[in-house]
Structures are given as C-alpha cells and as structure tokens.
Structure 1
Amino acid sequence: MIKKHLAGVLQVAVALWFCAFVPARGASTASNEIVVTAAREPVERWETPSHVRVISGDELRGYPSSSLPDALERVAGVNVSSVAGNPATAEVSMRGFGENGHGRVLVLVDGVRWNRPDMASVNWLALPAGEVDRVEVVHGAESALYGDHAVGGVINIVTRRPGERPGLELDMQAGSYGLASARAAYSGVAGDFGWSVNGMWYSSEGWRDRTACESAAGGAGAAFDFSDFVQSEARAWISRVEYEIPGPLTLEQAAEDPRKAGSPDDSASANYCSADGVLRAELADGMRLDVGVGAGRKDMENDMASWLSFADIRQETLSLTPRLTRTVGIGVETRLLAGVDVYLDQLDVDYYGEPARSARMGGASLTRETVGGYLRGETRVSAWKVGAGGRIERAGLDADMSAPGAAGGAVTQDESAWDVSAVRQFGESARVYAKVGRVYRYPFVDEQVSYVGFGTDRVYRDLKAEEGMQYEAGVEGRLGRACEASLALFQLDMKDEIAWNGVEMRNENMDRTTRRGLEADVSVRIADCTTLRAGCALMDAEFTDGPSEGADVPLAPRQKTTVELNVLLPGGMECIPSLVWVGKSRYGGDYANAAGWLDGYCVASVHVRHRPAKMKGCEVFVSAENVLDEEYSSVGYVDWQGVEYVYPAPGRIFRAGLNCRF
C-alpha cells in the first residue's frame, strides 16, 4: 500500500517541481524572528497567515518549571490539563477541543512529529525545557501541510542546534511534596562538526495521594556541515517514566479532601526511545531539498486495578518526510513547496486480568500505514502575499485480534485538505491576514479498534475521520519596541468529531459542531525595567444539529486570560508575577448539558530570580505557584448515571533552584 501511493504523490511532486524550474533568485528576510511551522520552512512570523505566539528562550528560562506544559499554560488559547497530576502525561488542547483535545494538536520537535497513533499524550518529560531554544505556537489548523492532528493548532519545539552554544550547563531545583530535578548538558564544536549530550532526572511525590512521578531522560545530537550547501543534523532521545494514577473524586469527596486518591492501586510506566535526522541540500540558487527520517519506540505497562485491566503495550514508528522548496522569479518572487510524508506505526497489546500477568486474556496487533503528499505555492500580488495549498492522504489500518470471539480486519480512509490565504504588511508597523481551508483528523487507532477485553474487542469500520472547515482573519500591529498587539477571529465548523459513548461503551462520531472565538495578545514595555504581557481567548463551542443542538461542547472553557509582569530590580534581580484565569466549562461526557458546570479558576504565581554578580553565568530562583492556594479541577466527567467526577489540580507549591552556564 505504501509503495503504491508513495509513487503517485512523488510523480505529482516531481512534475510540479519541473514546472517551477526557471531562473530563480533568493528570498530576503526583513525580520530576525523566524518561525518554521506554518510553512514547514523558515518564514518571517509576520508573513504567516496565522495567529502565532513564539515563546522565546529568555521567556522559558523565566519559568521555574522543568517541563514545557507549565510554559504553555501561560499562553492564551492553549489549555493544559492532567488527570494523573504530573507533567509527563499533561494534555494540551487548542481552539475549543475538549475531550481528547490533545489529539487535535500536532506536536513537533524540530519539525518532527511526536504525536503517537494511540490516545496517549506526548511524554513532555522526555525533552527537558533547558534544551529548548524557543516554542512556536501556531493557533488554528494546518491540515493542508501536516495532515493528521493539525486541526486545533501546531506546537513546534525548536531545540538548539548541536554545538550552537558550546559549554557546560547545570540546572537543579527542589520544592514542595518531594519535588526534585537535575539536568546536565554539554555541547561542543570542532570545525564543521557540532555535538551535544544531555541528561535529566525528575521526581515528585505529588500534591494528591497517588500522584508520585519519577522520570529519567537523556539525549545526544550531532550536526555536520559538508559544505556551504549541504548540512545535516541528527538527534536521539531515551527516557523512562513511572507514575501513579490517582483517579477521580466525586464532588462530595473533593470538597471533603481534594488530596485523597480515588483509585488506590493504578499506575503506569513506560520506556521511550527515538532518533531522527535531516539532510539539507541547496541544489541550485533558490532550490533546497530536505530529507527527514525518524524512528521511535515505546514500551509501556499499564496497571489499572480499578478497571481490572493490566496491559503491556509496544509501539514502533518509522517516518520518511522529504520535501523540495523552490523560490523562483517570474516577475515577482514565488515560492513553491512539494513534499511527501510517510508514516508506519505498529502497536501490539497484550492484556491480562491480574497484575502478575500469569494468564494472557487477549490482545491485538495493529499496523497503520499513512502516506500523504502536499503542495503549496506563495507569491506577491501587489502589496499582498497570497498562498494556496493542498494535501491528499491515505491511512490504512490492519488489526489482528487474538481475544476469543474478537473480529479483526482492515480499514482504509482517504482524506484531503486545502487552504487559501492572504497577508498584507504595512511596513514594519502592522499586518492583516485572512485564511480559509478544509481540515481533517484520522481516528486514533484505539478509537478505531477496541482491544480492552470484556467482550468488546472489534474493529469499528463505521467510525469516520473528522472533517471540517476553518475561517480565520487577524490583525497585528507594533509601535516600535514599546508595544505589540494582535487579534484573531475564527470559526471552525466540524462534522463527525469522535467521542466516547458511555452507554454504548464505544467511540462514536458526534453531530456537527461550530466553534467561534477570538484570541488576543498584547505586550507593552511600560518602562525600561518593566514589561507587561497579556492574552485573552474567548470561545463559543456548541453543537449545531442533532439531539444536542445548541448545547455547549464539553470541556471547552469559554475563556482564558493570562497576565504576566516582568520587573527588573536593582542588583540583578527580576520579579515575574503571573495570573492564569480559565472560565467554566461543561463536564466531559455531558453532551446534553444536563449536569452542572465545571467551575472556572484563577491561579496566581510569583517567580523571582537573581543573577549574582560574583557568580557569572549562574542564576538562582524561588517561586510560589498557585500562591493563593486555589482549589480547582481542570478536568471533570459525568458517568452514565449522571454522577459528576473531578480530578483536583495541585494547590500551592514552592520551588527553589540554581541554573549555571559555563
């Protein structure tokens, strides 16, 4: 299947490339701020037809956490939650997607997909925050370029190029509830060869009972420039995480003691390893070829005693992602991009009825082959930069079920996406943009196939891929370096969204939904020593037909506001108070809105860091998160009997640490 469809998309890509083979000239860039996600290559942020928020390395170092979800939590329009109470399993959602919203956000590391084919979230502790150069958050769909997952947004985590910053780095911190972490990294360069190694350890007993988590991770990278025209990079990561799962509490239990555990014996552990590389070659003036390859593996043990489910999961992924970029001059500068994405995912599951795993009850072997080809062109029309792109993709899933009476089989789904955009810049002071396009998402493999036992193992061939239309327009302006503001308005019409039906005990396609909203960001330099950054996202997500017409989409907060003040104090000190205010939402599973509201919450934190003059390259910090000890839950569900359950979030937590660069 892969060979057949790969040949087809390659023929289309090569044909269009030859059409573009005319004398070309290079592109100029007027800004130092670069993003790569919106166009799969370096593009000036103001030229992207999307609402983009870039978290710089300086901002990341201003946060006290060892994980990236805490930094993303401070971005309006990005919602972060965790039912296990640890950063390793945090789920990140965007644009009003609630249940399993992380499946509608594409997470990339240096442009390489980190999303897994099943419903498990990204292991955020596998990548230490100290290794990150910046995080690019693109709000809105990018299905035409990336395909699966890229419906609510794209998050690209950009690490430092090996050898870019030679030297030794040491980070360590300790905090409340047994929190401790340490990181060491070393990077060097020798001529055209750069390299880096790093390692990190994280441990916490957790705020709630049964939320302990421990993780160890390591990585290595290498970069080599064969010439001025050919460069290469390769990275490898390995990690292990072990964590307890506290389970939910009823509202009465949470009011009595929010720190107690609802499930006393649930836990999980996983080993991860991955490697990826890219070769970049300038084939001619204005023509570049990028070839990316990747491989990953996850071995996981799930012990869910509360469900009498004990499973061993083995998952492997292979990827090949070549693309060709051509910048041509046909009166005006035009850029053409053609590429192919090939993914092969293998997932094997064995499940048992007791933790000793002495008697296998069943299992499944799932193989998914995904092949997609995409094309995009951008050119200048008067003062406007206009672009159009499209993607075709086929996903084939084959399931072999081993439980008695289980029915395996194969499912093939064909999808397509397209978008049209326009951007108008007014010098360096303002820009406007508009974008419209078709989006889609394939079902997770464990949405398409049930393999949990209890007589329900089967392939759901009637489960369709999610499809929709996105409409977006925005404006952004800046006043020198003193003030910068942006506003985006959007609407996303979806059909066949997938959600769990607790009565039928299976995943089903839902009725049509519409999401309308706005996202705004502002950064103001109040004085030489004080900067204010604030963001606001308003969301109206509702069903537009069927029995739930007019009802709110569950777990989609109506608003989120973030405020952060950065104050430079004498003596090398810096104080960063912040506020995150999230509005109310409907409980998960409450499609008829028959239950009450999951309350909103407001979390205030304060972070102070100091760079001692006698300790060059070092920084000490102290912080208080949720300093007012707000009691809240970012996740809650209603069961089939109408009982409301919540997962209480951590209360007040203190941290202190030391970061050194030599």
Structure 2
Amino acid sequence: MRYLLMYPLKLWRPLAGLFSTLFLITPTSAQKPIDIDPITLNLGRFDDALEKIPANLKIISIEEIERSGATNVPELLSRYAGVFTSMDFFGNGSDSAKVDLRAFGSVADENTLILIDGRRVKDNDLSTVNWSSIPLKFIERIEILRGGGAVLYGRGATAGVINIVTMSPGKRDNFVEIEGTTGTYNTDSGAIAGSFGTDKYGLMVNTQGYSSDNYRTNNKETRQAGQLAYKFYGESIETSIQIGTSQQNVRLPGALNIQPSNGTDEVLSLGRRGSTTPNDFSRAIENYLTGGLDVDAGDSQAIINFGWRSSNDESFFDAFNDTYAERDRETWHVSPRLRRAFNVGSIEHDIKLGMDYERWSVTRNVSDAEQNISDPHNIFKSEQRNYGLYVENTIGISDLWALSVGARWDEQTQSAIDTFDANAPGAAAKFESQAPAKDQKISVSGYELNLKRELQIGRYVGVSTNKSYRLANVDEIGATGEFDASFNKVFQFLRPQISHTHQLFFGRNAPQYTYNVNLYQIDTRDEIRLDLLTTGAGNTNFPLTKRQGFEAQTSFMGPHFSVSSAYVYTKAKFSRGTTGTHNLTGKTIPLTPKHTFNFNGTYRFPKNVDLSLDFNYFSEQVMDNDEPNIMHTNIPDYSVTNLKLSRKTDGWKFGAGVSNLFDREYHSYAVASGFTATRFGVYPLPERVIYLTIGKTFGTK
C-alpha cells in the first residue's frame, strides 16, 4: 500500500474519507449485499459469479453493445474507463488498431492480453489483433480485468485482460438472423447467423463479409469470416468444438509526412485523403480449430481445452526499399485445469490448478517483389515453446469478505535462424546480411493478492497487488532486422519485462445504477520498447517506467433512457534511462493521453425506437518514437461525437447512424522519424460517415 500513498494528497484526502466510510460500516447496516441478477463470467478460467471474484472487473453486456452505436470492437472498448484505442490508422477498427489498458502506447498489444472465448488470438510478433474477424454482431459479452493477469494467463497481461465471449450454441435455440449495412465510402457489409439446438446439443453457424473503399486513397479493403460451433450437453459433461476462418485484403495508404524545417506538408499538398504509397498492400488468411471437455462433479471440476491456429500473410512496402514478404505462422496449445471447492471450518476455499502449453512457429521469406518470392534473399525461422503452471485459491472469509492468492511459473524456449542469399534477385540493393543463429531459455514467475469486501446496497471495495511479466516477441529480437553498433545483423534476445501493479478500487453494482472508481500504479523495470536513437539498439530494455492513474465510470438506466460517463487521468513517465544522447528521466511515454472523457446517452421513444448519442474526448499525446519528447509538436487533442437511431419490431431491426457527427478533421496517431529531425508522419481519420442497417430474425433466440 505504500505505493498508493504516492498519489497527490489533494486526490487522496476525499477518497480516504469515502474509503473509510464504506469500509467501517456497522454490522447493522452491512448484513448482506442486495439481490441482483447473478452475472457469470469466464475470466477465471472457469465459470464464476461476478460477486465471488475479488478482482477489478468490468462486464460489457449484450444490451450495452446493442445500445452503444459502435461499429467495431475497438470503437466499443474505447468508451469504457481505462481503455484507449491507439494506432487506428484507417478509422474502421481494422487490424491496425491497438487496444490499450493503462497507458502502454505503442506496445499496448504486448501488455494487454486479448482473448476470444478464453483463447489467445495474437501471434508472438508485432502484428496486431485481427479485429476485422470479430464482428460485434456475434459477441455475447466482453469481460475486462484491470491490472495484471499473469497468474491465470501468463505473459503479456501486465495491464490486464480483455476476454471477448462470442455467442455459443444454446439449448433449444432455433433461429436464423440476417443483417446488412451500407454506408459512406462505398462501404457494404452483411452477416448471417443461425443456431439450432435441443436439450442435448447446440449448433451455431455464422458468416460475415465486408467491403469498403475507406477514407484514404489506396485503402480499399475486403474481408470475410466464418465460424461453426458445436456443443454437447450431458448431465455432468459438456463438450465443444469450434472451427473458423477469416481473410482480409487491404491496400495501405501510408503516412502523410510533415517536416516544418523544409516546408514539407503532404496533408496540404495531397489532401487529407491522399497517399504516397500506391503499391503497398497486405493480405492475410487465418484458420483455427478449438475444442474442450468440461466435467463437473459438484465440488470438483475438470476442464481441458486445446487449439490450433494457422495464418499466412503477404505484404509489400514500397517505402522500405521494395520489400515483399510472406509469413506463415502456426500455433498449438493445450490447457488442462482442475478446480476443487471445500470448507475448512466456516472458511470457503476454491482452488484452481492448471497448466498451459503452447508451441508457436514462424517462417518469413523476404524478396524485392512478389514474382521473386520463390527465390528470397532472406529466410527467417523461429520456434517458441511455453510451459506454464499456476495455482489460485479464492477464500470466502465470510459472506462479505473474499481473498484470492495465486502464483505462476513459466518457462519459455526460443530459437531463431536467419539465412541470406546475396545472389537472389534484388539482394545487391539491400542493406542486409545474415544474423548468426541464436536460442534462449527463460524462466519467470508471477503472483497476485486480491482482497474485496461486499458492502450494503451492492457496494464493494477492494485492493490488489500483483507481479506480471512479458517476454520479447520474434520481431523484437530481430525477425524484421536488428543491427549492432557496427551495423551487423544480429538477434537481440532481451531480458524479461517485470511489472508490479498496486490498485485500490470501489464501486456499486445495482440493477439501475452502477459506478466504479480505480486508482493504480504500475512500476516496470526492463520495459521492452523500440529505441531508434541509440545506434545498434533496435528494440531494447528501458530501465524503469511508472504509470499512475485514476479511472471513474458511472451509469444509470431508467425505464426509458440510460446514460453513462467515464473519466480517466493518466500519468505515464520514464523514471530513468537514456536514448541516444537524451536523458529520459521524467519524460512522458508516447501515445498516452493524460485525460480522456466519454459520455453515452440513449433514449427510448414509443414503439421501441432508440436514439443514442456518444461523445469521446482525448487530450494531446506525445507522438510515437518521441520517447525523449523533443518534437516541437504533439498529436493534438480531439473529440468525436456519434449518433445512432434504431428500432426493433416483430423480428426486424432498422438502424441509421452518423460517426463523427460534427465532421471533425483529426488524427489519433502520428510517428516521429527515426532518421530525420523534425520530420513526422500522420494518419488522417475519416470525417463524417453515414450508414444504414437492416436485419431480420426468424425463429426464437
């Protein structure tokens, strides 16, 4: 708790008084929490009731998703306290967007763990989550764990965990749902979903397609996704299997460069929709298979999940000396776990014990052109194996008190091999060489301690502390090119990043009114980031960083309207370190707005007509690659307002929406050049966008 006392005294005085009032309620007024509909979630690797988990959690229900007016997952998540969407290059929620919990900026994807139905969906490289394969239409709820999640999930959960729970086949569900959307920039999308079930099994099929020219020149995009899920329900056994596929083809417009020192401004010369990379593109295909067996024997439960995922992508970047690359990735994982509930006297214990095994491999071929890829000048191969063991005990001290303690041990082995053919087409023009083969074995550990007390009228208060970690991915060790001080190509295996998170949280869950307040501090050593200003560094370990934050969110639901709002204050700084000749002490970490605010309101008119208004504000940010804060400009603050009108009647659904209602010109991402002082690139985002939606449901859900 001594870490939490470092917050400004002005902030802590009123909070300390409120905390004391809540915590010291007399037994007469705090006999039992109020009765509300139970919420079940899966973030604990088993199905748990929300009130039984002594952690800092937020659940986004299907009702909230439908009311939100959001058109993609990153846009939806950005409306909740402590969640910030960065690096959305195109404004359509595609796979460039990074969802950031608690101010990690450009490395958000490596510190915020994204799960779909409990499985990892991001590869062990610098690629982002393929958000385009996750339609909002097929999401049942989203579970957000704020703070480290290393005990149950291992690496990469420093800031927290976001678990996207998709609709699963239900008993006696028999329906078919069709939906189509059309909008600005020749945008069209469609989705079909069907579910069929009995008392013993459920089968669900869904598919979706999307096509758009998008806002920028050379940014046309098409994508498709499909999924088949089967579930068998026995008396004490459930089995499930799910297969899916997705593909995306997108043109890449690149950044528009600005350099005040020589008068360059491509935003003015080419217009906000312009492009300087007419030949750049990316194509990707992904297939996956997952399954599970769940045996429930009352006080004991055993689950085993397994999965396979394969992906192939191709890309061409004219600006990077004509670089065409093909990459094949494959992942296998298996996760057996056990649960046992028992009492010792009047104390309830709920112990979870599990193991995670994952094998991930990649092959990357690089050439100067697509037609020459059969004779590449570089071939990179890497394999990674992860073994993890964890145990967690949730202790019900009384009806009001809950405590959880847990620990995890992980071991990772990784190898990297690089070959270079100087006689291959285009090789002579490349600044390339062959990195010596290298391998590494690392062991790391994490822990957690959470304490939560339920109070009267649905209120709660809790504290937590934990240790989490992340390990460098294949791109960060040199898959795309790392060089030493003599500019020889090398693999740079890095030290594990270690973080300690301490937080205080309190709030209220009630049928009509909820609020939650969080205060946190994250101290990180050996943070893994890109260092462009130190010769021969590439990705490296920065000594110390500190993040402090205040998050507050409230919502109210009446018979005809609902409102919610969220405010976040974030202070993200380097505590120590250098880059090039620059001292980083006290410098702001890039892509971390100090203030964010959101408001959402929905009013229901007669005949089930809903009108939703959404407002989002983000303060200015230091641009990417500007760790020493030496650029003379930042990403300006901006606000975006969205409006949606919808109606449901007799199985029909109609909707009309406007994104960026006031036609603002803005960008949420800019990157400083690592080679030319005062030069930076921006990615302008769309102005006003209008869309129409119609859908029909046949049968019963």
The counterpart of 1:628, out of the listed 645, 658, 662, is 662
In the alignment, structure 1 residue 412 sits paired with structure 2 residue 441:
yes
The counterpart of 1:618, out of the listed 652, 672, 684, is 652
CA distance in 2, matches of 1:195, 1:169: 14
Residue 369 of structure 2 corresponds to 354
DSSP 3-state at the match of 1:597: coil
CA contact (8 A) 2:43 2:163 kept: no
The counterpart of 2:552, out of the listed 514, 520, 538, is 520
In the alignment, structure 1 residue 458 sits paired with structure 2 residue 490:
yes
Write the letter of the residue equivalent to 1:338. Answer: L
> Aligned-pair distance for 1:644?
2.2
CA contact (8 A) 1:171 1:183 kept: yes
> Aligned-pair distance for 1:60?
1.8
The counterpart of 1:300, out of the listed 297, 313, 319, is 313
In the alignment, structure 1 residue 608 sits paired with structure 2 residue 638:
no
Query: TM-score, normalization: structure 2?
Result: 0.86
CA contact (8 A) 2:34 2:458 kept: no
Write the letter of the residue equivalent to 1:405. Answer: Q
CA contact (8 A) 1:37 1:138 kept: no
The counterpart of 1:214, out of the listed 208, 222, 229, is 222
Residue 374 of structure 1 corresponds to 390
> Aligned-pair distance for 1:228?
1.2
> Aligned-pair distance for 1:248?
1.0
Residue 48 of structure 2 corresponds to 43
Residue 88 of structure 1 corresponds to 94
> Aligned-pair distance for 1:31?
5.1
DSSP 3-state at the match of 1:446: helix
Write the letter of the residue equivalent to 2:670. Answer: G
> Aligned-pair distance for 1:452?
4.3
DSSP 3-state at the match of 1:62: helix
Write the letter of the residue equivalent to 1:376. Answer: E
Question: Where does the alignment leave 5 or more consecutive residues of structure 2 unmatched?
Answer: 1-32, 259-264, 421-432, 578-582
Q: Deviations over 1:369-421 (max 9, x none)?
A: 00011000011234421111000001111112112532111111111100111
CA distance in 2, matches of 1:485, 1:83: 32
DSSP 3-state at the match of 1:523: strand
Written as runs of structure 1 = structure 2, the 5 A alignment for 1:629-648 is: 629-640=663-674, 641-642=676-677, 643-648=679-684
Residue 429 of structure 1 corresponds to 458
In the alignment, structure 1 residue 333 sits paired with structure 2 residue 340:
no
DSSP 3-state at the match of 2:277: coil
Residue 22 of structure 2 corresponds to none
CA distance in 1, matches of 2:466, 2:596: 26
Q: RMSD between aligned alpha carbons?
A: 1.9
Report the CA distance shift for 1:178/1:342 in structure 2 as closer, same or farther (over 3 A): same
Residue 74 of structure 1 corresponds to 79
Report the CA distance shift for 1:65/1:202 in structure 2 as closer, same or farther (over 3 A): farther
In the alignment, structure 1 residue 240 sits paired with structure 2 residue 254:
no
**More moved, 136-145 vs 363-372:** 136-145
Aligned length: 627
Written as runs of structure 1 = structure 2, the 5 A alignment for 1:177-326 is: 177-225=185-233, 227-251=234-258, 252-255=265-268, 257-282=271-296, 284-307=297-320, 308-326=322-340
Report the CA distance shift for 1:160/1:59 in structure 2 as closer, same or farther (over 3 A): same
Residue 342 of structure 1 corresponds to 357
Q: Deviations over 1:339-398 (max 9, x none)?
A: 001000010110001232253111111100000110000112344211110000011111
**More moved, 149-158 vs 159-168:** 159-168
**More moved, 159-168 vs 100-109:** 159-168
DSSP 3-state at the match of 1:497: strand
> Aligned-pair distance for 1:185?
1.0
Write the letter of the residue equivalent to 2:402. Answer: K
> Aligned-pair distance for 1:56?
1.1
CA contact (8 A) 1:611 1:620 kept: yes
Report the CA distance shift for 1:354/1:634 in structure 2 as closer, same or farther (over 3 A): same
Report the CA distance shift for 1:273/1:31 in structure 2 as closer, same or farther (over 3 A): farther
> Aligned-pair distance for 1:29?
12
> Aligned-pair distance for 1:510?
1.3
CA distance in 2, matches of 1:457, 1:175: 47
CA contact (8 A) 2:56 2:145 kept: yes
CA distance in 1, matches of 2:196, 2:81: 37
> Aligned-pair distance for 1:38?
4.2
Write the letter of the residue equivalent to 1:303. Answer: F
Q: State percent identity of aligned pairs.
A: 23
CA contact (8 A) 1:244 1:266 kept: yes
Residue 58 of structure 1 corresponds to 63
Residue 494 of structure 1 corresponds to 524
Report the CA distance shift for 1:42/1:217 in structure 2 as closer, same or farther (over 3 A): same
DSSP 3-state at the match of 2:278: coil
Write the letter of the residue equivalent to 2:51. Answer: W
The counterpart of 1:448, out of the listed 447, 456, 477, is 477
Report the CA distance shift for 1:72/1:314 in structure 2 as closer, same or farther (over 3 A): same
CA distance in 2, matches of 1:566, 1:582: 22
CA distance in 2, matches of 1:627, 1:85: 14
Residue 105 of structure 2 corresponds to 98
Residue 499 of structure 2 corresponds to 468
Query: TM-score, normalization: structure 1?
Result: 0.91
Report the CA distance shift for 1:37/1:151 in structure 2 as closer, same or farther (over 3 A): farther
CA contact (8 A) 2:80 2:553 kept: no
Report the CA distance shift for 1:378/1:433 in structure 2 as closer, same or farther (over 3 A): same
Written as runs of structure 1 = structure 2, the 5 A alignment for 1:476-625 is: 476-478=507-509, 480-503=510-533, 504=535, 506-525=538-557, 527-546=558-577, 547-595=583-631, 596-612=633-649, 616-625=650-659
Q: Deviations over 1:468-505 (max 9, x none)?
A: 10001111125x53321110000000111111122436
Report the CA distance shift for 1:650/1:511 in structure 2 as closer, same or farther (over 3 A): farther
> Aligned-pair distance for 1:86?
3.9
CA distance in 1, matches of 2:34, 2:413: 41
CA contact (8 A) 1:76 1:535 kept: yes
Report the CA distance shift for 1:617/1:309 in structure 2 as closer, same or farther (over 3 A): same
Residue 391 of structure 1 corresponds to 408
Question: Where does the alignment leave 5 or more consecutive residues of structure 1 unmatched?
Answer: 1-27
> Aligned-pair distance for 1:63?
4.2
Write the letter of the residue equivalent to 2:355. Answer: V
Residue 15 of structure 1 corresponds to none
CA distance in 1, matches of 2:604, 2:382: 55
CA contact (8 A) 1:269 1:302 kept: yes
DSSP 3-state at the match of 2:572: strand
DSSP 3-state at the match of 1:46: helix
CA contact (8 A) 1:450 1:456 kept: no
CA contact (8 A) 2:482 2:492 kept: no
In the alignment, structure 1 residue 121 sits paired with structure 2 residue 132:
no
Residue 13 of structure 1 corresponds to none
Write the letter of the residue equivalent to 1:161. Answer: S
Q: Deviations over 1:279-337 (max 9, x none)?
A: 0002x331000100000000100111211211000000000011101111111211000
Residue 29 of structure 2 corresponds to none
> Aligned-pair distance for 1:150?
0.8
The counterpart of 1:363, out of the listed 379, 389, 397, is 379
DSSP 3-state at the match of 1:424: strand
CA distance in 1, matches of 2:149, 2:549: 18
Report the CA distance shift for 1:31/1:112 in structure 2 as closer, same or farther (over 3 A): farther
DSSP 3-state at the match of 1:149: coil
Residue 693 of structure 2 corresponds to 657
Q: Deviations over 1:98-135 (max 9, x none)?
A: 01211211111111111211111111122222111111
